[in-house]
Amino acid sequence: QPLSEPVRRVGRLKAGSLEDLRGLADDLGALIESSEIWHVERPDGVRAHVFEDAERVRVVFVLSDVDKPLSATLFAERTLRDPFTNERISVQAGKAQIALGPRGVRMFVVD
């Protein structure tokens, strides 16, 4: 469906950005806050909340509103550790698989 209004510019590219795609990617990546990286890819009904200090994300909570057990895919940067069970969840290609019980909540320390 076509846009009803023309797209507005929200910023300007630096001169030469299109020739230096790696530099452009680095510049755009720097604009993303670290907490934006930690979110659930799937399934619906699962969400993530982070606690971060001035340096980085320290704790991630993953919550399910679904009435059955499931496995969620969380975008993540580092290995996660359950502080209660000491289970470690590794990150592969920027994603972690999180097992959740019905309407479950899990807390992870970011190592």
Question: What's the CATH code of the domain at 73?
Answer: 2.60.40.1180
pLDDT at 62: 95
Contact between 98 and 74 (Cβ < 8 Å): yes
pLDDT at 52: 84
Q: Would you say residue 97 lies in a domain?
A: yes
Q: Would you say residue 28 lies in a domain?
A: no
The sign one gets for the Cα dihedral 90, 94, 98, 104 is positive
pLDDT at 104: 95
Give me the residue label for tokens 């929200």: 10
* Paired sense of beta strands 46-52 and 105-110, if any: unpaired
pLDDT at 40: 87
Q: Would you say residue 11 lies in a domain?
A: no
Block means of pLDDT (10 residues each) for the chain, length 111 residues? 56 65 68 63 88 86 94 92 95 94 95 86
pLDDT at 31: 55
Range(s) of the domain holding residue 62: 34-110
Q: Would you say residue 101 lies in a domain?
A: yes
Per-residue tokens: 26? 């680095």
Q: Would you say residue 14 lies in a domain?
A: no
Q: Would you say residue 92 lies in a domain?
A: yes
Contact between 76 and 94 (Cβ < 8 Å): yes
Task: Please give the tally of structural domains in the chain.
Answer: 1
